[in-house]
Chains A and B, each alone.
Chain A
Amino acid sequence: RKEVEQDPGPFNVPEGATVAFNCTYSNSASQSFFWYRQDCRKEPKLLMSVYSSGNEDGRFTAQLNRASQYISLLIRDSKLSDSATYLCVVNMLTGGGNKLTFGTGTQLKVEL
């Protein structure tokens, strides 16, 4: 079983739609959680951290359920510029450092 699992997609949605991505992780000792965005052939960029209380940043909402080991990302009013791969990332404190473990990513295509 992969440490972080995501549906690879692609998710093809019309502009203005609401889309949700889910992710599960296997290590209950995981410390912190993130969503990164990666455009084609570019580096991953931090989209947002994910907290147990849930957090929102504009059109983006992230949720964490530690009991179910489940993370979600909701994108409202999707834009063409949201087209990218969204990486679910789990941070496991190890050897004093923070090793990020990435899912394979979920591809989003927003269409006119």
Chain B
Amino acid sequence: DTGVSQDPRHKITKRGQNVTFRCDPISEHNRLYWYRQTLGQGPEFLTYFQNEAQLEKSRLLSDRFSAERPKGSFSTLEIQRTEQGDSAMYLCASSRVGQGARDTQYFGPGTRLTVL
């Protein structure tokens, strides 16, 4: 399968713990996006990278959240001192820009986080 992959698919943690999620984009996709989706809502933009550079962060991304894409390939999203309000599906998407590519975003299966 050459689509976007995310790991883990499910994570249950206790309030106050730190969690880290990983996203592997489609090969050769230079842009990578993180979104968060809660029940009954559409996904909300969190941040995005072009290659290894983080170019934009949403106001939703508090100081407890940090994302990296150190080599311009996979990305990690870390949440420190988790709160119950962090419970959501965390979605990663990737796209390719340049050389006429349309920057269509393709989503991974998501990581479902439950904070107890």
Cβ A94 vs Cβ B56 within 8 A: yes
Cβ B56 vs Cβ A99 within 8 A: yes
How many residues of chain B are within 8 Å of chain A by beta carbon? 25
Contact partners of A103 in chain B: CB under 8 A: 42
Given A96-B55, A97-B56: A87 touches B104 (CB 8 Å cut-off): no
CB neighbors of A among B37-67 (8 A): 40-45, 48, 50, 55-56
Q: Is the interface of B mostly helix, strand, loop or mixed?
A: strand
| B25 interfacial contact with A, CB 8 Å | no
> Inter-chain contact count A-B, CB under 8 Å?
53
Cβ A46 vs Cβ B44 within 8 A: no
| Shortest distance from the beta carbon of A98 to any chain B beta carbon, whole Å | 5
User: Which residue numbers of B lie inside 8 Å of A, CB to CB?
Assistant: 31, 33, 35, 40-45, 48, 50, 55-56, 91, 93, 95, 103-110, 112
Question: What are 26 pairs between A and B in contact, CB < 8 Å?
Answer: A41-B112, A43-B110, A44-B43, A44-B107, A46-B104, A46-B105, A46-B106, A87-B42, A87-B43, A95-B55, A95-B56, A96-B50, A96-B55, A97-B48, A97-B50, A97-B55, A98-B31, A98-B95, A98-B103, A99-B33, A100-B33, A100-B93, A101-B45, A103-B42, A104-B40, A104-B41
Q: Which 3 A-B residue pairings sit nearest by Cβ, starting from the closest? A: A102-B42, A43-B107, A95-B56
User: Which residue numbers of A lie inside 8 Å of B, CB to CB?
Assistant: 4, 8, 41-46, 49, 87, 89, 94-105
